[in-house]
Amino acid sequence: MGKIVVCGAGVVGMSVAIMLAQDGHQITVIEADPGGNPSAGRGLSVGLIHAQLLRTLVRGHLDDPAALAHAWDEHTERVVTPFYGTRSPPTGPGSPR
């Protein structure tokens, strides 16, 4: 069987990894958050909402992939960030250095 990398150790990523491993694939799971996945327990609902909105964006930009990429980046920042928070370190007075 094949070697597969799953990006994200949330509910969906781990579910996919388990199913693929059961089919005999060699799986590597990559998680960007060094403290673990902050979406545990909410990743599935956020993922479904995100997928539905992706479908809408794709339908509106089929003729221009660059515009789709730009719209997707803006959409992700606006819709997903409130669920996961920002990964940027805090700055300003009183922030850790």
Residue pLDDT, tens place only, 39-60: 554 555 556 666 777 777 788 8
Q: Are residues 30 and 47 in the same domain?
A: no
**Domain coverage including residue 1:** 1-36
For residue 84, what are its two tokens? 């996961």
Within-domain flag for 90: no
Q: Which of 17, 52, 37 minimizes the C-alpha distance to 83?
A: 37
- pTM > 0.85: no
Place of tokens 């920002």: 86
Q: Residues 30, 51: one domain? A: no
Domain count across the chain: 2
pLDDT score at 28: 92
Whether 77 and 50 map to the same domain: the answer is yes
Same-domain status, 56 and 73: yes
Is 74 found in the same domain as 46?
A: yes
Using a 10 angstrom Cβ sphere, with 0-12 exposed, 13-18 middle and 19 or more buried, the burial of residue 82 is: exposed
